[in-house]
């Protein structure tokens, strides 16, 4: 496989992973919106969910877009799955 083809394949793998993981993060928000509409979450709790989504999505973006795309693709293929939602959670001090 040529270098160009390898980079293209790596870009596609990273893009597919990024989209799938973003969809998972969005599903957390969708569930929270349903709870908010049903009255099970108040506005402050909903804000916390949105903040966690924002942090998680930023961490995912950095993972997928900073550095060499071929290295990122290899990490995606070989490393254990990352819980991006948990990565976005606020840490207790």
User: What does the DSSP assignment read for 15-82?
Assistant: HHHHHHHHHHHHHHHHHHHHHHHTTSS-HHHHHHHHHHHHHHHHHHHHHHHSS-HHHHHHHHHHSPP-
Q: Is the pLDDT of residue 92 over 80?
A: no
Q: Give the number of other Cβ atoms within 10 Å of residue 87's Cβ.
A: 15
Q: Is the pLDDT of residue 93 over 90?
A: no
| pLDDT (average), residues 25-53 | 98
Q: Is the pLDDT of residue 74 over 80?
A: yes
**CA dihedral sign, ordered 4, 64, 71, 77:** negative
Q: What percent of the chain has pLDDT over 90?
A: 86
Task: Kindly indicate the confidence band of residue 23, based on its pLDDT and cuts at 50, 70 and 90.
Answer: very high
Query: What's the start-to-end Cα distance of the chain, in Å?
Result: 49
Q: Across the chain, what does the average pLDDT equal?
A: 95
User: Which helix or strand (DSSP H or E) is residue 10 part of?
Assistant: helix 3-37
* pLDDT (0 to 100) of residue 66: 87
């Amino acid at each position: 496989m040529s270098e160009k083809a390898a980079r293209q394949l790596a870009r596609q793998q990273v893009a597919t992973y990024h989209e799938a993981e973003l969809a998972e993060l969005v599903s957390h928000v969708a569930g929270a919106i349903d709870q908010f509409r049903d009255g099970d979450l108040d506005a402050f709790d909903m804000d916390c969910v949105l903040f966690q989504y924002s942090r998680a999505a930023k961490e995912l973006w950095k993972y997928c877009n900073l550095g060499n795309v071929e290295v990122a693709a290899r990490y995606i293929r070989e490393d254990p799955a990352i819980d991006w939602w948990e990565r976005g959670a606020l840490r207790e001090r």
